[in-house]
Amino acid sequence: MKINIASKNPVKIQAVKEVIQDYNFLSKAKINLLEVYSEVSNQPKSLEETIKGSINRAKNSFKNCDYSIGIESGLMRVPYTKTKRMNFCACAIYDGKENYLGLSSAFELPKKVVEKMKKENIELNEAVYRCGLSKSQKIGSSQGIIGILTKGRVTRKDYTKQAIYFALIHLENKFN
């Protein structure tokens, strides 16, 4: 069995590798890494755009494999929050015919980060850096902003794994 991961981000790769070990039908899969375009903005700003990005990544990486996995993090509008937005992760697993989707839990970003993203039209990594919350401009390739906000209790890998597990529900159980 072959699985293509539509990313070279070490957090996403490690999340997939850890999750598939929990599934007998996937645990021995050969993993291929492909950098593919999501066909959405670099910083998705809606539920639809984020899910579409994960689907596009999965479909665009489906080459000589049994399954391809696309993972996309983004923002979505959420009423009653301070910033009107929350960050989450979407996972699409594609088998050549169907998509199997999963979403992670969501969390609200600091107001100053969201304002900087909107005002300067920059991605989350850069906004976190410019707000002084991280010394790294590539926080998304390590613990993520969630790791900073929870002081390591939850990391980007953790919430990425949630989305993968949830996408696998329909693939493993083959619901109609």
The CATH number of the domain holding residue 160 is: 3.90.950.10
Residue 115 lies in a domain: no
Residue 91 lies in a domain: yes
Residue 80 lies in a domain: yes
Residue 35 lies in a domain: yes
Residue 131 lies in a domain: no
pLDDT score of 175: 66
How does DSSP assign the chain, residue by residue? Answer: -EEEES---HHHHHHHHHHHTT-TTTTTPEEEE-----SS-SS--SHHHHHHHHHHHHHHT-SSSSEEEEEEEEEEE-TTSSSSEEEEEEEEEE-SS-EEEEE---BPPPHHHHHHHHHHT--HHHHHHHTTS-S-S-GGGTTHHHHHHTTTSS-HHHHHHHHHHHHHHHHHH---
CA 130, 9, 161, 45 dihedral sign is positive
pLDDT tens across 125-168, in order? 899 999 999 887 777 777 889 999 999 999 999 999 999 999 99
Find the distance separating the first CA and the last CA of the chain, reported in whole Å. 24
pLDDT score of 137: 77
Residue 32 lies in a domain: yes
Burial state string for 53-71 with b = 16 or more CB within 10 A and e = fewer than 16: bbbbbbbbbbeebebbbbb
pLDDT score of 176: 59
0.85 exceeded by pTM: yes
| Residues 6 or more apart in contact with residue 118 via CB below 8 angstroms | none
Can you say how many angstroms the Cα of residue 75 is from the centroid of all Cα atoms in its chain? 11
Give the pLDDT band of residue 23 (cuts 50, 70, 90).
Answer: very high
How many other C-beta atoms lie within 10 A of the C-beta of residue 157? 20
Number of domains the chain is built from: 1
pLDDT tens across 91-133, in order? 999 999 999 999 999 999 999 999 999 999 999 989 999 999 9
Residue 145 lies in a domain: no
Residue 60 lies in a domain: yes
Can you say how many angstroms the Cα of residue 102 is from the centroid of all Cα atoms in its chain? 10
